[in-house]
Structures are given as structure tokens and as C-alpha cells.
Chain A
Amino acid sequence: MGIKVLKAGLLTTIQDAGRYGYRKDGIIVAGAMDAHALKLGNMLVGNTDGEAGIECTLMGPLLLFEEDQLMAITGADLSAEVDGIPVPMWRPIYVHKGAVLSFGQARSGCRTYLTVHGGFDLPQVLGSYSTYLRAGFGGWEGRALKTGDLILFKSAAPMLPLGFNWSLSPKMYQRSQDEVIRVVKGPEFDDFHEKSIAVILTEKFKISKEADRMGYRLEGEPLKLHKKKELLSSAVTFGTIQVTAEGNPIVLMADHQTTGGYPRILQVAGVDLGKLAQFQTGDLLSFELITLAQAQALLISAEQEVRQLKQTLTFKYPVNG
């Protein structure tokens, strides 16, 4: 037994930490847009990092629990309710058989993650549960969830001797509410005109209507190169900021193609990818340049915090620990 989809929502997909090892074959990583939120969601219900969650986008789905289960809701605040009663986020929640999970207004952010104890019982494709929407494989039948889908649980709700009346410390998930995204220089940074560099590092950019899991096209003052340069296609990654021939920046997101041929002006610092994933069409953002050493130090301290939390949680979930 599992979760039955009563209404699909805007874009509801199965995602895990990503599909690695196949980028050389043109197969994208995909995975959760806000990987940090999914990771915390898995930890809250006693899972390893490799389990899949359900990624909901802006307008969440309507889901029926066909069995008791322990769940957690992390990421964007989409006004989650169980049987019409608001439920807190960032903590384990015991849901009874027959309960209906609904989402309402997006109070903050764009993408919410639903995780359940033990994870969802789905086949892994090339080592991952993530949905590869364009190629039509992975996740649930290679597509976004639809009304009537039944996603099975791998295991029953756990017996918790210590109870589950606890939640995460906000410092684990609270991000600054500003529009600043930290970046490092991209490989072609120096090929851009000084004025364009100044523009992208000081002005605000708006996320256009063309914003999805593949990337966000930004609107702002067009950026110019010193001189036109023919670039050969090369690998790109999550957070690469490319500039098209018209001078518009595009930030590549989780479902980006493996290679690209546009000049790469900036690269979003790994530690801010999750924050960026919570932005949506119409939002303004600005970039703050940091050094590579700073970006890597930030990632290391974020990773240490997660490891400490994991250590603590092994006491909450002795069975799985």
C-alpha cells in the first residue's frame, strides 16, 4: 500500500539525489532541485540519502495515504494540511490510513518535498529513482505524477520508542530571505566586457517565464563579450550561468543538458543552489561574487552540519541507525 494521487498538482515528480556516472553518455543528473531540502526530509523520517521523495511545484498535489505512515514535508511552504488541518514542516509527522494530504497557497518558495519512512517502492533506473522527464524514464513511469497513480511504500510506519515529537533546528534549513545568490567566476568570465561584468554583479535580474527544471532564463540589461568568440561545446553543470547570443543569462538547473556551447560567465556556488531552486518566475535576484576557496569552505561547513545532524538522528531511529 502507499499513496494515491487524487490530484496531480502543477508538476509533481519523483526525485532523489540524482543520477550520477552517465553524464558522459548525455544522460542528465536530474534529481531534486533543492537537494538540501530532500536530504533533510529523508533524515527526518529515518532514511538514507539515497531514497526518493516527491517534489511538488507551487501548486501541490492532493494525496491519499492508504496506510499509516511517517512522513516529513520540507522545502517551500505550500500550506500543507492533513484532512484540512495545517501540519508543521521540518519534522516527522505520523499520518493515519485514509488521511488526505493537501497543499494550498505558496507562502514561501517554490518546491516542496514529501518523504516517507523507508522511501517509495520504485525501480531504480541507472542507479537512480529520479525522473528524466525529457527522455521519459526513471521516477514513476518516466513522467510527472497523474491522478490515479499509486506510489507504494517500501516499508510500514516505524515503531518509535522515543516518539517523534521533535523537529529540526531552524538553523539547519532557514536561509536568508534576500535575493542574493553567491557565485564564483565562470570559465569565460574574462571574455565579457567590464561593463557587463559590473552589470551582472550589481544589477538585479528577473526570472522570466522561461523557468523550469532545466533552467531559468533571466531578464536584465543584455551582457556583451569583448569580441564574438566561437566556443566549442563542453560540459556544463547545475548552476552554470551561460549567456546567449542576445546577451541574456540562463542559469542551468537540475535537468540541464550535459553539454553547452554558450560562454559561461558565472557559476552559482553549490551552497546556494537549493536557495535558487526556491525562486520562481517574476522573482528578482542579484549575484555576489565570492572566491572558489570561499565557495568550497561554505560547502564543507554545510556538509559538516548535515553529518552532525545525522549523528544525532541515529539516536532517534535506533532501528535504522
Chain B
Amino acid sequence: MTQKTNSFKCYPLGDAAVVIQLGDQISPAINARVRAICAYLDEYSFEGFIEYVPAFTTVTLYYEPWVINYTKLLPLLQEMANEVLEEQEVPSGPILEIPVLYGGEWGPDLDFVASHNKISTAEVIALHTAPEYLVYMIGFAPGFPYLGGMNKLIAAPRKDTPRMKIAAGSVGIAGEQTGIYPIETPGGWQIIGRSPIDLFDLNREVPAFLKAGDKVRFVAISEKEFKKIRRVKDGD
């Protein structure tokens, strides 16, 4: 099978950023290439480099144009690509378990997701906790993961009217996507549960719990376990 995964394209995003495009669809293979570029940049950057942002098929690099311009940058990126993308071995990210208390006041839309798909709430939970999800990218809000791998049998449309407040830790479904809200924000996702762990915590050295390339599994917990984890977190 010779799936074409070696595409590499650069184009400018204005006068202080450049996009490296590594494919045009959501796939674990392309994500591995995105991660390879990021891993390389963590080790070796170039003068004028500020930071990078990985996405589904791209890595965007921000740079200081008074240190290096676009024309001078291109051959550097090509060189990097030759070096990085040759070896297809990318260390896979860790598998992180996220405990979730499903249903009730913690997941007010669990019943809707079940009835929408004509299955029981227990089946929704079983289908949601089964897969190993891949974090393709972080965006929208601090630490908010775009996860791939949800079973379509639990897909559900967004709410017609978004909620003004969704609590931090809420686990939701929107279309064929699932996600978890790291901070309290307004939002239109169907909320099926809540995790007691902090996905975004400024007191940690790395505030965001998840990063692109990580793998995630949701684990159903009881209210008692939820409260126990919260008590430990809150330190009393």
C-alpha cells in the first residue's frame, strides 16, 4: 500500500508566519508527521523562531521577520523536512486516562444523546469509553483538545441555543466529535459527563494537561470517586 503521505508544502501566513502543510485529511499518519516536525523544532530551532502551532494537517511557525525573512526560511524548512520526514518512526504519545462521571447533573444531555441514537445511556457510556482517542490539535480555548476516534453511533447535533456557561471538565459531543472543556466557557456541545481532573491549571509547570499527539481514554467513575479526586485536588 503506497498511501501518499510524503506531501510537503510551505506557504506564508502573512509576514511573520509560515505554514507547513503535510497532507489534506484527518489521519493518524499525517498527525505522526505533524508531530515529527514539532519534535524536531523542540530540539533544533532557528534564529528568529518564536513558536509553532500544530493542527490536523499543518504546523504553523511564527518567526521574527527582522531576523529571518521568508525567502531565507524556505530552504531551512525543506532541509528540516528532508531530515525529519525520511524516518517514519515517530514515538507515539502517552495514553492518558481521563476519569468521567457520566449523566445526572454532571452530564445533563446524556439522555438526549441516548434517545437521539436510540440506544440506552449505558450503551452511550460504553461506546464513549471504548476507543483510544488521538489528540489532533489544541485550539478554541486553553488546553481544548480536538479528539479523533469517536464512534459515530453516539454522534449528536449541537444544541440549538448554546449554554451561557459550561463548567470546566465537562465532556461533550458535537456532531461526530467529542471533547472536553478545560475552562468554563459558553458552548453548544451536548454535555454527557464531567471529569474531576483539571485539564488546565496555571499552577502546573505545563498548564495544559493534553497536547497534540497524546492519546486519551475516558474511564467511567462513580460520584464517590469523583468527589474523592476533587478533594485530593482541592487539597483538603
The answer to whether B144 has its CB under 8 Å from any CB of chain A is: yes
Interface size class, chain A: 35 or more
Interface size class, chain B: 35 or more
The answer to whether A87 has its CB under 8 Å from any CB of chain B is: no
Known: A232-B56, A234-B56, A257-B139. A292 touches B15 (CB 8 A): yes
Q: Which chain B residues lie closer than 8 Å to A304 at the CB level?
A: 66
Query: Which residues of B are in contact with A by a Cβ distance under 8 Å?
Result: 11-17, 19, 24-26, 38, 50-58, 60, 62, 65-66, 69-71, 137-144, 146, 182-183, 185, 200, 202, 206-208, 211-212
Partner pick for B66 among A23, A259, A300, CB 8 A cutoff: A300
Partner pick for A135 among B56, B71, B141, B146, CB 8 A cutoff: B141
Q: List 21 A-B contacts (CB under 8 A).
A: A22-B142, A23-B53, A23-B62, A24-B51, A25-B206, A26-B208, A27-B208, A135-B200, A186-B13, A232-B24, A232-B26, A234-B57, A235-B60, A237-B14, A239-B14, A257-B139, A269-B15, A292-B12, A295-B15, A299-B15, A303-B66
18 extra interface residue pairs, beta carbon distance < 8 Å, beyond A187-B11, A264-B13: A24-B54, A24-B138, A25-B142, A27-B207, A126-B202, A135-B142, A186-B13, A233-B137, A234-B55, A234-B56, A235-B53, A237-B13, A258-B138, A267-B13, A268-B14, A296-B65, A296-B69, A299-B66
Bound-state CA distance A293–B25 (Å) is 31
Q: Which chain B residues lie closer than 8 Å to A259 at the CB level?
A: 53, 55, 137, 139-140
Q: Which chain A residues lie closer than 8 Å to B65 at the CB level?
A: 270, 296, 299-300
Known: A233-B146, A259-B55. A25 touches B14 (CB 8 A): no
A292-310 vs B, Cβ < 8 Å mask (1 yes, 0 no): 1101100110011000000
Cβ contact within 8 Å between B14 and A184: yes
Bound-state CA distance A295–B14 (Å) is 9
Q: Which residue of B lies closest to A268 (CB)?
A: B14
The answer to whether A94 has its CB under 8 Å from any CB of chain B is: no
Cβ contact within 8 Å between B57 and A23: no
Q: Which residue of A lies closest to B11 (CB)?
A: A187
Q: Which chain B residues lie closer than 8 Å to A164 at the CB level?
A: none
Cβ contact within 8 Å between B212 and A24: yes
Main secondary structure of the interface of B (DSSP, over half): loop
Cβ contact within 8 Å between A237 and B16: yes
Partner pick for B17 among A22, A26, A237, A269, CB 8 A cutoff: A237
Bound-state CA distance A296–B71 (Å) is 10
Bound-state CA distance A126–B202 (Å) is 8
The answer to whether A125 has its CB under 8 Å from any CB of chain B is: yes
